[in-house]
Structures are given as C-alpha cells and as structure tokens.
Structure 1
Amino acid sequence: MPNQVYVRMKKNMELTEYQLLQLKDIAVISTNDTKKKEIEYAPIYRLGKKDKNIVVIDSFLVIEHLNRNFPDLDFQLIGPNQTIIRINKRRKSPSVLIALSVWLLIFVGTAMTIMNFHYDVSMQEVHQKVHFLLTGEKKEYPLWLQIPYSLGLGIGMLLFFNHWFNKRFNEEPSPLEVEIYNYQQDLDDYVIQYENAHNDADHPHSSS
C-alpha cells in the first residue's frame, strides 16, 4: 500500500515579484515518507508577466501533477481547493505630505458627518431639555452635559474599532475588521469563479 501524503492548500498568498512556485510555497504537506523534502520542493508553476497580478492555482491540477511525478505515493487533499496568489510589486512609501493630506481629509469628513448627524437629530435641543428636566433651569449651552458627551463619543469610537494606533484593547476583532474579512471572502469567491471560468486545462493555473 503506497504511503499517504496529506496536502492542504494555502488559501491566499501575496508575493512582491514573479518567481518559480514550489509545492511548499502554496501548500502544507504531512507524511511519513522519506521523500517529504523532495515533494515540498517539487516545482509547480513559474510566475511570469503574462500572469499580471492574480493567479489562481487549482488543487486538483496540483494533485494530478504530483501523481505524475510521484506515482508510488497516495496524495490526499484536505482544506481549500484553490490558492489565490496576488502579486504586489514593491512600491515606494507614501510621502509624509500625502499621508497628512489623507489624514486631514478623513478627519474633516468624519467631523462633518458627526456634526450633520447631531444637527439632524437636534442634539443640542436634547441636551437643553435634559438639563431643564434635571435642574429646572433653561440654558442654551449645558456644557456639563455636552463636554462629557463629546469625550464619551470619542472613547466609544475607540472601543468600537478596538484600536489605538497599532495597539489593540483586546483580541476580539472589531466590526470593521469583520466587514473587511467578509468583503475579502466575497472577493476571493468571485476571483475563483471568474478565473475557473477562463481556466486553461493545459496549465495548473489561471491568471487575470
């Protein structure tokens, strides 16, 4: 009975340059066979400019390729059925001026959004009414309510996004990270569907 080799494809990979892909680059294997190193370093596909920036490698074609090169072994696939490779060429770091401009744009946009929301819901009138109910006095600017409310709004946003610069408050993902993850999942599903529809049966990959 041939030795079994378990192959688990990596779901996503990011590279900064075109290169020769070996099995260890796109998958993790587990086996007791003495040929483990040889299998890991088996060439699968050479990336080139024709592949542009996205390549989808199908596990079925990888297993077929391995079966031809190692006929005495039994390959068993577990996990994802494709590996999506994104080629992101090295880019220069953005200038401080551009980073500050983007930060300023986001800051002003966020501030305008918050102010417009408070204007729409008449937040100042709400504070005035709360002040009147608690003190029996009418006051145009109840600062003792407005200042803590403003501070609480900022602290609440920090807790909501679970980040202070690069520091996390806890290990729980923020709602924004969950939405980004869901978006990435949908994007990967689309890429796999689109690439497989244009897959060339003569090669273990499809490129966009």
Structure 2
Amino acid sequence: MSEKSSRRQIMSDTLYLQIDQNVEVHHPHVYLQDVAQLSCSNSKVLNRCRVLPVANLEPGKPGRYVFSVVDLIELIQKKEENLDISALGEASFLVTYREEAVKSKVWTWVKAVIICMATFFGTAFAIMSFNNDVDLTTLFGQIYQQVTGAKSSGFTILEITYSIGIGAGVLFFFNHFGSMKLTQDPTPMQVQMRVYEDDVNTTIIEKVERGKEQ
C-alpha cells in the first residue's frame, strides 16, 4: 500500500519552467537553472533539475544560440521519467553567451562622454535643420512685428521662451535628467530599446526555425 502511495506521490510532482525570450550567460557550460526559473514541490527533484546540463558552448566564442522548450522538456523527461512538466513563457528562446569582461571605469566614462556628445550635437543639428526648413526666424519676426508694431531684433521674448520650451520639453518627454526621474514610468528611449530588442530576438529565432524547416 505504501508503495502505491509513493508512486502516486511521484506521479503528482510537477516541475514548472518559466523562460524569458533572451537569457544571458557568462560561462560555456549551461545548466537548466541558468536558462529557466524552476519551481517544484519536491525539493530533491528540483535540485536535480537545476544542475541538469543543457548545452556546452564553445569557450571563447560568444554568440546567440536558439533553444526550444520542447528540447528542454525531452531532456528533463530522460532524467525524470515520472515528472510532469509545465512550461510557461516562450516556446523558443535565445541564450546569449558573453564572457565576463573586466569593467574599466575610464572606458565607461569615455563611452558615456561619446554618447552624450553624439546625442547633443545630433539633437542640435536636427533642431537647427527643422528651424531652417520652416524659416522660424522670419516667422517669429513677423509675429513680433504684428503684435508689437516694432521690428524684431532676433532676440526677443519669442526666441527666449522657444529655447526654454525646447529644453523643458525634452526633459519632460524623456522623463530623465541624470539620476532623477519625474515619474516611475519607463522613458521613451527605454521603451524603444525594449521594442528593438524584442524585434531582434524574434527575427533571430524565426530565422533559425525557418532554416530547420528547409
């Protein structure tokens, strides 16, 4: 009777896998706990599954590798035959292998300065191009002359408020100034970077899956 009960208990064990679309690892020997969040009521089964080898990547060759959840389930079932598996999340996912790099504060500051300069001059060029296309100087001069009756000197209240408004608008739009944020919502830049990352991951996965079908 006790043997039947133990069998029922073994059959009732369920392993839950939650996998993100892109998982980053820093060592070539990839285990199940590196690519998925695991949950199981049986701690012994959980510990065995955590250290289950998934892949042995080639050391010194970072890259992105596509894996299928079905392959993971088959791999687990070979080791745990009486285990029920419930996969949550993506059907296929990427494993991004990057070697752990030694961070240099000097290089980090150099990259930050380069990005800031590129952003500043790029934005300034875009604003000046827009102002030149719509001939904003002439437009402000006409508005100022119609309202005040005097000829604009090119440095009036319109130009001053317009300049202040551009700077304030940029801060409000990007919701970010140094380490300060106006709200806890993600900035438009963070949203666009996330969309770009999702598009790249989806493209890589679809490309690999189409190659398998051919």
TM-score tier after normalising by the smaller chain length:
0.7 to 0.9
Secondary structure (helix, strand or coil) at the match of 2:86 reads strand
Q: How does 1:42-57 map to 2 (within 5 A)?
A: 42-49=52-59, 52-57=62-67
Matched with 2:72 is 62
Match of 1:185 in 2: 198
Corresponding residue number in structure 2 for 1:114:
127
Identity over aligned pairs, percent = 24
- Provide the aligned C-alpha RMSD in A: 2.3
* Paired position in structure 1 for 2:88: 78
* Structure 1 unaligned regions, length at least 5: 200-208
Tell me how far 1:30 sits from its aligned partner: 2.1
4+ runs deviating over 6 angstroms: none
Contact 1:18 1:48 in 2 (8 A): no
Residue 202 of structure 1 is matched in structure 2 by none
1:27 aligns with 2:39: no
Deviates more, 1:39-48 or 1:184-193: 39-48
Deviation at 1:64, TM superposition (A): 0.3
- After TM superposition, the score normalised by the length of structure 1 is 0.83
Change (3 A) 1:69 1:185: same
Partners of 1:95 and 1:29 in 2: how far apart?
Answer: 35
Distance 1:18 1:40, change over 3 A: closer
User: Does structure 1 conserve the Cα–Cα contact (< 8 Å) formed by 2:28 and 2:59?
Assistant: no
Task: Give the whole-Å Cα distance in 1 for the aligned partners of 2:155 and 2:130.
Answer: 19
> Which segment is superposed worse, 178-187 or 45-54?
45-54
- Name the residue aligned to 1:8: 18
Tell me the matched-pair count: 198
Contact 2:16–2:38 under 8 Å retained in 1? yes
Change (3 A) 1:171 1:95: closer
The alignment's TM-score, normalised by the length of structure 2, stands at 0.81
SS at match of 2:71: helix
Return the letter of the residue paired with 1:20: H
